[in-house]
Amino acid sequence: MKLTIGNHFFPHPVLGNKSDIDSSFVFELNRIKKKPTALVVSGNVSISNKTIHEMLKHESASCILHIESSLTGFRKHKRIGEWDTNISEFCVEFPLSDLRGNIDINLICISNVNKTDYHPDGLSFQYEDAEFEITKGSILAFAKQKSIFLPDDNTKSSGGCLFVLEPNKDESLKFNYGNEGGQNIAILVPKSVFGALDGILKSGDSYFNGILVNTFFLPCLVEALNIYKEDSSTYLWCKNLEESLNEQDIFIGPGTELEFDRRMEIAQKVLNHAFPLNDLIKKYGIS
């Protein structure tokens, strides 16, 4: 689900919709953990708008976390948050068997009541003193979407969760190892080909996914192993990488010097564990 941003889609001002309301509504993912049968998503939500916070506090509004896997068609939402303050932590679980490929996570705030005099704090001057009618279920705010990636065989390894594919406006290939504060590694591909590559990933075609793994993920991870040694205590993707390394009894101590060939070997093991390329060779007869 991708919330479409545009004033004509809402009959009332919505926080997160351009500059309708001068406030913030954001969420951070602190931990993505896989159990044998579930994906555990935890993080925190903050809202600076006094009107909407009061509605959340008095349960006349709810905060909804929505997760979707386009590859499997899975969609699920859960109410989250305790709103004594304007910051709330959450931890929810989703069935792992229904999730693979690109996973989109959205956060919205909806009204639980009908109101005829809705005039939120921080309303843009263009609305002057206008009051709006909202109904139960109306969207009051939405946050910027976050995405993670799970390999097709999502019971094997967290290796695929390290990466997210994003378009790069300057038409070059880049790697952003501090994406979303270090939640994952963003592989920035030329904007002109992003749509095609994203479609390949979402299609679940094992052959083409294998090509993408070797073309983009492998060189990215080879360099990431250098960063992992230095920043493993601060980047979330480093912790995910460590889990994958532990699953294969690979230990890299702090300050360990790794030659390029050794980093290449480790990167191939991690990715082969997350994306079983040997299975692809057998399936497609690649030589």
List, in sequence order, the alpha helices (H) in 126-252: 191-203, 206-212, 218-231, 236-247
Task: Specify the pLDDT at position 282.
Answer: 41
CB atoms within 10 A of CB 27: 22
Q: How many whole angstroms from its chain centre is CA 83?
A: 23
Domains of the chain, by residue range, sit at 7-147, 151-284
* CA dihedral (38, 111, 70, 190) positive or negative: negative
> How many CA atoms lie less than 13 Å away from 266 in the CB half-sphere?
24
Supply the pLDDT for residue 277: 45
- Residue 19 phi/psi, 5-degree rounding, is -115, 30
pLDDT of residue 220: 87
**Beta strand 163-168 with 184-190: parallel, antiparallel or unpaired?**
parallel
Other CB atoms within a 10 A radius of the CB of residue 166 amount to 16
CB 15 within 8 A of CB 140: yes
Quote the pLDDT of residue 1: 52
Q: Is the pTM of this model over 0.75?
A: no
Residue that is written with structure tokens 């704090």 in the block: 121
Compute mean pLDDT per 10 residues along the chain, 287 residues long, and list them.
54 86 90 80 93 96 90 85 93 83 88 95 88 93 84 41 77 83 81 76 61 80 81 70 79 78 87 57 37
Looking at domain 7-147, its CATH architecture is Sandwich (2.60)
What's the CA gap between 191 and 12, in Å, rounded? 33
Instruction: Quote the pLDDT of residue 162.
Output: 72
